[in-house]
Structure formats: C-alpha cells, structure tokens
A = this chain, B = another copy of it.
Amino acid sequence: MSAMVLVVQKFGGTSLADAEKIHRAARRAIRAKLSGQQVVLVVSAMGRTTDDLVKLAQAVCCDPPKRELDMLLTTGEQVSIALMAMAIDAAGHEAISLTAGQLGLVTDSAHTRSRIQRISRDRIDAELAAGKIVIVAGFQGADQAGEITTLGRGASDTTATALAAVLGAKCCEIYTDVDGVYSADPRLVPGARKIDEINYDTMLEMAATGATVMHSRAIEFGKKFQVPIYVRSSMTDAEGTLITAATPGMEAIVVRGVTLREDLAVVAMNGVPNTPGAAARIFSEVAKSNILIDDIVQNLYDGGRVANIGFSTNSSESAEAMAICRRLGKQLGVDGVEIDEGVSKVSAVGLGMRTHSGIAATMFEALAKEKINIDNISTSEIVISCIVRREDGPRALRCLHSAFELDEPREDDIA
C-alpha cells in the first residue's frame, strides 16, 4: 500500500458528451495527479448512449433477457474508459482503462440490479504504483463466474463511492452538469441556493424525494464508510457541495432543502379489514412484480377494525399496481380500490424535523395560503412529504422554499 493521498473522480454522461468534454475531464484528472495525488477515475457512458442502447434493444426484443441487456449496456462505459485513456495519453500522461471484470469488482448475479460483493485492490494498486491514472468503467460488475452484470441505472456514482471506500480515498468527487446540491431545483425555484455542506442522511432523503443530482446508493456507501463526497460542476472550478458526516451549526438548521418528485400515482385500498398480515400480503405481492413503491400511508378507522392503505408509485407502473391491488382487494374483501394519477410529491428535508416543533405546521400553512390541496401526508425523522396535484407541484416547491427561508443567505453558507 502506498502512503500517497488518493482521490476518486467520477464523471457522468453529460460531462463526457463529446471529445472536448472528455479532454476537459482528462485535464482535471491530470491536474490532481500533478498536485501529487493518486487518481482513480470512474466514468459513465457518453451523453445519452445508455438510452440509445435501450432503444436498440427494444427495437429487437420487447422483453430482452436481463443477462443480454447487461451485455449490451456495459459497452457504453467501456467506450468511455477507452476514450478517456486515449485523452490522457494524448496529453502526455500515463493511464490505463479497466473493465469491472479486469479490476475485480465482483457482484451477485442479479442482472440489471446487482449488488457489489467485493472489490479487489490488487490490480488498481499495481497500476497506481506504476504511476498511472486508473480509469474504471462505472455501472458494471462481474459475478463469480465472469458473467457481466450492472448495478442499476445511474449507479456509476455507486461504483465511485464504493471504490473510494475500498481504496481509502481522501474523498470522492462527483463531477456533473450542475455545480452542487441546491436547496431546491433551480429550474423551478429561482431563489434556490447552493448548499456548501450537507450531511449524508439529509442528502439521502433529498435524493429519495426528488433531488436527481446523486444516486441514493452512492450516498449510502459514502455514509457507511465515511467517505467525504464532493458534488461539483465539470465545467467550472466552483467549490460545489460537500456531503459528509457533520455540518457546522447543525443545531440551528432545520430544513436544508425542498424537493419535488413528479409523475407519481397514489393507489388507495379503502376499508381493508385490519387483520394481521394484510399489509404484508399486499406489499409482498406488489414487490414480486418489481414495482417500486415510494411512500406508504396507512390510517385506521371504525375503532381500529378497518384500515385505508395507500401508496405512491411511478405513473408508469401504476396500471400494474392497480391490477394487483384489485385482485387482492377481492380476496381480502376491501371496500374499494382507487387510483389517483397525475400527482407529485413535495418534501421538506432536514435534520431534527420532529424535535423542532412547528415545521409541519409551517409547511401545511404555506400550502394552504397558496390554496394547494394536500392529498397524502407522510413524515419521518428528517422528511415531511405531501402529495399534491401535479399542476401545483412547482408552485408548492417555490412557496415552501420561501416559507422555510431558504432564499436567505445563512451564517454557515458564509463560513
């Protein structure tokens, strides 16, 4: 093992969309190398390559075997690692590209949604010791038998933070097309402010409730192995956002950001007899079909004998979810199954939601003042979410951003 400081830099598809952008990313890696650090790059597929490959697969087969889908999609990252190595070579520095199989990033065999089992240091350490910049294909893995797997869409972030953890990197830098994490989506909220520092849990909830800047699993890896993560723009030298364990002045801050998740549908089963296992039966049936559930809300009524169970899911999966619930509804003898399509979820995220009283009230009042109807409500330790009509979503986001005074500069932002 080397005593040198190591940094993992990850570049997403928009930061690699053409030759010029690849050179720009290469220069950033070289700069880190010249400053005396060892550098491991993780790259995604160029631009919209993965979407194009998915379209190609769909043109050939409406339901492609998952193994072959992985075989197909991993070519996108393989193209990127080769081109990145060429760009660094063209700039007169030594680099080597590695596929997941060559590197020894071993996953289970669940094609299209594999989990990392272990990452070997041997090859990377040898190449770093030889003075090379190591370029790793994100998103992909190889199972025990050498079959090619993938970690799920957007999982190059996961490759990067997992590598940073295994290699003991001083930090993991995520280069993207925005210059950090914002208090709300700047395209929807003009007064949105960049957050300088945020803790893992808050970032996790922001990602889960609609902030697309980073993949949740990657943040989980960062948290688990305490890897500081910087989210930065690939186009500027601005500082970006540091995702870490502790943030300064944490007690004073409650709501760090507001998020919007669109294109949801809420499926409601009303009058479910409150017998043990009813909810378990419903959600195990839904899970079997691989439908992703967002939030679940259950209320009891009629003296606790009957429940209304509702859950939100992506619009694209709502028809299938509805069909499953109708079938189960008959078996369980429920009053009715309803679907509410065209809804969005607006959330306020921050540590200490429950201990700071009045946060929920502020949220509901702000929405009421704007005459925005609230459908389901769900809360956790650090999130309050409200389902609203889709057309109200952006307006709801803006009013909450103001209500929580996220437009104002704050002490810790200046520090």
Contact = CB atoms under 8 A, between A and B. Distances in A.
B90 A62 contact: yes
Interface string A258-275: 000000000000000000
As for how many copies of this chain the complex holds, the number is 2
Contacts of A22: 60
A79 to B, nearest CB: 5
Interface string A77-103: 011011101110110000011010110
A213 interface: no
A72 B83 contact: yes
B72 A56 contact: no
A387 to B, nearest CB: 38
Contact of A82 (B71, B83, B147): B71
A69 interface: yes
A59 interface: yes
Contacts of A90: 60-63
Given A64-B86, A68-B89, A79-B72, A59 B19 contact: yes
Contacts of A53: 79
Interface residues of A, number: 38
Contact residues of A: prevailing secondary structure = helix
A328 B59 CA distance: 57
Given A19-B59, A101-B101, A146-B101, A65 B78 contact: no
Contact of A86 (B19, B57, B75, B97): B57
A53 to B, nearest CB: 7
A60 B146 contact: no
Contacts of A64: 86, 89
Contact of A78 (B62, B78, B101): B78
Interface in A118-133: none
12 contacts: A57-B82, A57-B86, A61-B87, A61-B89, A61-B90, A63-B90, A65-B85, A68-B89, A69-B82, A71-B97, A72-B86, A99-B148
The 10 A-B pairs at the shortest CB distance, nearest first, are namely A72-B82, A61-B86, A75-B75, A71-B82, A61-B90, A19-B59, A68-B85, A64-B86, A68-B82, A60-B86
